[in-house]
Structure 1
Amino acid sequence: MVLQLHVWGPAFALPSIDAQCLAAIAYCSLALPKDSWELVASSDPSVSPTGELPVLQNGAVWVSRFRSIVDYLRQYSKGAWDLDNQLDETSRADNIAFSSFIESRGQSLVDLYLYVTSQNYYGNTSPAYGSLLQWPNQWILPPKLHGAAKGRTEHLGLSSLDLQAMEDQRQRDHSAAVAAGKIPKNLIQRPRDTVSSFLGRTAQSNHFRIEALTAEFFEPLEAMLGRKAYLLTAEDEGTPSSIDCIALGYLSLALVPEMSFPWLRDAMRAKAPLLSAYTERLRRRCFGDAPIEIAHAFAPESVPESAPESPISWRAPGRISVAAVGTTLLSTLADSTPFLREIRKNNGLKKVAQSEDSGLSSTEKRVLNLHAESKKKDMYVSIATVVGGVALMVGYMMQVGMLSFQTEDEEEEVEEGSGEASEAAYPTVAEFLAV
């Protein structure tokens, strides 16, 4: 049976817009025979039982996350598809440590570069998602990914790269100052910054922080690579390992895309020229010499035979079904409702804790499961508190007479009483004339 690797679709001349997906594609391209696997640009996390991409499908077996996919391929092939089989114990330890380093630091930089930087997100990233997503995901998923990236990088103190957020905050501060009476309205003048001047100040204020973040990421990898062909080989020649796939996933998104504000690519070329050449060389080996286009993923039969041969075999994704559309819309509605959103979040945590391919230890699974149960109990306590508070408020209002409920008989008595009172209050015509 041919394995299928489901990923986020192509963008920026790369086979995927996601770093983890690029790493999984690179691994399959290097380790697996070409006729044993297919690449499917499903671009829909709902196809995966865990709601994540990349995910490897082997019949009824689904395996998500890069490290779990690597472990599964090693076991499935009995070691034949293991890129790390040539590593000794020291190199294996370095592989794990530096892979974690690349994923943690690289993800933050990619988030800042593709999503938080407003010029790049609105000018490049968002249109790329619009080209590869089907309705309604093209309207739902990009804002969710944008918000998730902003949340992951909030601690870095570079939110000023998000010009829209900066403008919104400035308007909120302006409105708060007016509401508080600190500034008379007739003396307030709206700032008339041009886009170029605002971008200039933003770039200047972020320059030193960006310089430090990029140096912390690129310089250790540049020193680790040196003049070698791959990161963990001992000589100029050798074979790549799984860390090279991880590195290619993040470094290619830093180096290859043509962005409106290419600060990450410029930093990589300036600080790590050897790493830049390594990324280009490995990219051509894993993804082919020709730039990847949307047609390669969605209409592979339309690619002319004269096109350069690619190490990737594409399979066109199926059209989204009515049931999938309904599920997506319901999930979006649930995520917009606080109570339902918390339930879905807790269920997701428990699913990860119970998943065999989560990559977590038994202790981590137990802690995650306990955390999910604790969050669920806290949520139920909060709901009970709100309901109890509303009930007490209604009871108090009924007791003091602010709120009352009348039966039909009581309403009829009230109406009769009001009618009699009306008749007694106003004299008849005869009585009026007699007077």
Structure 2
Amino acid sequence: MKLQLHVWGPAFNLPSIEAQSIPPSPPTGELPALQNGSVWVSRFRNIVDYLRKYSNGEWDLDRDLTDAGQADNTAFSSFIESRGQALIDLSLYVSSQNYNGNTSPAYGALLQWPNQWIFPPKLHSAAKARTEHLGLSSLDLQAMEEERQRKQSAAVATGQIPKNFIQSPRETVSGLLGRTAQQNHFRIDALTGEFFEPLEAMLGKKSYLLAANETDSPASLDCIALGYLSLSHIPDLTQPWLHESMRAKAPLLSAYTERMRLRCFGQAPVEVAHAFEPLSAPPSSLPWRAPGRLSVAAVGSTLLATLADSTPFLRDIRMNNRLKQEAESEDSELNPIERNALSMFADASKKDMYVSIATVVAGTAALVGYMLHAGLISVTTQSEEEEEDEDFEMFNPGQAGDFLGSLGDTGIF
């Protein structure tokens, strides 16, 4: 059986809309995922290691690296994954204009129902959570407007703003863009410089990042770099600040990204049709295979999982289970101490959650028991309800008219 690499699918003229991410289908729960029969391997570094072992070293891109080169390969791979992911999160997801105008429609063209409605908002929220510490949430204009409305509502509720004054015109989009551009310019400039400039200096005029001479071949570092740099350089976005920053700060890195893209993905742009209709679509340099239709069971499982993730109690259970699986996974990149700590944390969190639930249930039961004992609430039996119904049926409506007429005679009405 041939090896199969499962990815999100084409977008922005690239083979995948994500450098690395966590979406729906593979047993590993992550993409990219390599399948070899019943064996599944996810995450870039794990896939590289598996291919090296599977080919007995023949497919090892790092076999010619010195010890120092191996160390640089590991260090800069981690650097690219951490810093590059943050910038892509900000560019494709946190930025409202790019997410609504480019990223969300791209996912809509890739995913089948109901995933096209479920996963983009989840990825959007995850990206915002990952980048919250960077202080650039103002890129999300929708969140800014919602926060403004919440503050205004709170001010009205506390009497700080008279209700007559809350009908003032909303701030225009152009006004928000102008203000947020000024607020974000220096922070974005610093973040992009911290990412692009070290790689630009490392590359220099070499063909590849770790190359010692012109005859050297690309290493695995060049592959992970292409994944993140191409999503920074290639997409034509509504707000192309990441692309513009890369061109300005790292012209050699921009040329390197374009050169690697052509070598790995071919001259022609990668289209969505290549993945869904590989036989009838224009020729592609990549060996695409059309995805299968989602079964009814898969759709039902997706909907149930979404419902569970929206329910606080079930969401916590699923999160703890995922942490436990990560700690026990053979493909985990954690060392034994970290895996043991993560497993203990998952177990402790699950116990705390069960204790909290038991406390709430016991407290509710005690409250209801006290209210019954004090007579604050009563339990009506079926026979009592029947008697009340009989009394109501025996009531003569004419008596009500006579009663109201007598009140009128007394001058009350």
Partner of 2:231: 253
| CA distance in structure 1 between the partners assigned to 2:131 and 2:97 by the alignment | 17
Q: Which letter maps to 1:230?
A: Y
Partner of 1:224: 202
1:400 correspondence with 2:374? yes
1:174 correspondence with 2:152? yes
Deviation at 1:191, TM superposition (A): 3.9
Change (3 A) 1:415 1:138: closer
Report SS of the residue matched to 1:9: coil
Partner of 2:15: 15
Contact 1:126 1:142 in 2 (8 A): yes
Q: 2:126 aligns with which of 145, 148, 160?
A: 148
Q: Deviations over 1:288-343 (max 9, x none)?
A: 11100011111010134xx4x61x21111111111100000100111111111111
- Which structure 2 residues correspond to residues 207-218 of structure 1 after superposition, within 5 A? 207-218=185-196
Q: 1:321 aligns with which of 279, 286, 295?
A: 295
Change (3 A) 1:290 1:407: same
Deviation at 1:414, TM superposition (A): 8.0
Q: Which letter maps to 1:159?
A: S
TM-score (norm 1): 0.87
Q: Which letter maps to 1:89?
A: D
1:346 correspondence with 2:320? yes
Partner of 1:426: none
Report SS of the residue matched to 1:5: strand
Partner of 1:62: 40
Contact 2:155 2:161 in 1 (8 A): yes
| CA distance in structure 2 between the partners assigned to 1:259 and 1:119 by the alignment | 9
Contact 1:5 1:57 in 2 (8 A): yes
Change (3 A) 1:6 1:412: closer
1:356 correspondence with 2:353? no
Partner of 2:142: 164
Deviation at 1:413, TM superposition (A): 11
Contact 1:20 1:246 in 2 (8 A): no
| CA distance in structure 1 between the partners assigned to 2:294 and 2:166 by the alignment | 52
Q: Which letter maps to 1:165?
A: A
* Bigger mean CA offset, 177-186 vs 140-149: 177-186
Report SS of the residue matched to 2:24: helix
Percent identity among equivalent residues? 70
Partner of 1:102: 80
Report SS of the residue matched to 2:279: helix
Change (3 A) 1:198 1:407: closer
Q: Deviations over 1:42-63 (max 9, x none)?
A: xx93321121111100000011
Partner of 2:406: none
1:93 correspondence with 2:68? no
Report SS of the residue matched to 1:315: coil
Q: Deviations over 1:158-177 (max 9, x none)?
A: 00000000000011111111
Partner of 1:199: 177
Partner of 1:241: 219
Q: Which letter maps to 1:297?
A: A
Q: Deviations over 1:259-313 (max 9, x none)?
A: 0000000000000000000000001111111100011111010134xx4x61x21
Report SS of the residue matched to 1:49: coil
Partner of 1:123: 101
Partner of 2:409: none
| CA distance in structure 1 between the partners assigned to 2:308 and 2:207 by the alignment | 49
Deviation at 1:399, TM superposition (A): 1.5
Q: Give unpaired runs (5+ residues) of structure 2.
A: 396-413
| CA distance in structure 1 between the partners assigned to 2:165 and 2:35 by the alignment | 64
Partner of 1:391: 365
Over aligned residues, Cα RMSD in angstroms?
Answer: 2.1
Q: 2:341 aligns with which of 367, 373, 384?
A: 367
Contact 1:55 1:65 in 2 (8 A): yes
| CA distance in structure 1 between the partners assigned to 2:381 and 2:241 by the alignment | 72
| CA distance in structure 2 between the partners assigned to 1:191 and 1:258 by the alignment | 33
- Which structure 2 residues correspond to residues 297-336 of structure 1 after superposition, within 5 A? 297-304=275-282, 307=283, 310=285, 312-336=286-310
Deviation at 1:408, TM superposition (A): 5.3
Q: 1:276 aligns with which of 243, 249, 254?
A: 254
Report SS of the residue matched to 2:228: helix
Q: Which letter maps to 1:7?
A: V
| CA distance in structure 2 between the partners assigned to 1:160 and 1:45 by the alignment | 26
Change (3 A) 1:323 1:192: closer
Q: Which letter maps to 2:66?
A: D
Deviation at 1:400, TM superposition (A): 1.0
| CA distance in structure 2 between the partners assigned to 1:277 and 1:188 by the alignment | 52
Q: Which letter maps to 2:86?
A: S
Contact 2:23 2:119 in 1 (8 A): no
Q: Which letter maps to 2:20?
A: Q
Report SS of the residue matched to 1:63: strand
Partner of 1:80: 58
| CA distance in structure 2 between the partners assigned to 1:393 and 1:139 by the alignment | 42
Q: Deviations over 1:227-282 (max 9, x none)?
A: 11111111233111111111111100010000000000000000000000000000
Deviation at 1:201, TM superposition (A): 1.0
| CA distance in structure 2 between the partners assigned to 1:377 and 1:114 by the alignment | 38
TM-score (norm 2): 0.91
Q: Give unpaired runs (5+ residues) of structure 1.
A: 22-43, 423-435
Q: Deviations over 1:370-424 (max 9, x none)?
A: 1110110111011011101101110110111012235557x389879x99xx9xx
| CA distance in structure 1 between the partners assigned to 2:260 and 2:73 by the alignment | 18
Contact 1:50 1:351 in 2 (8 A): no
Aligned residue pairs: how many? 394
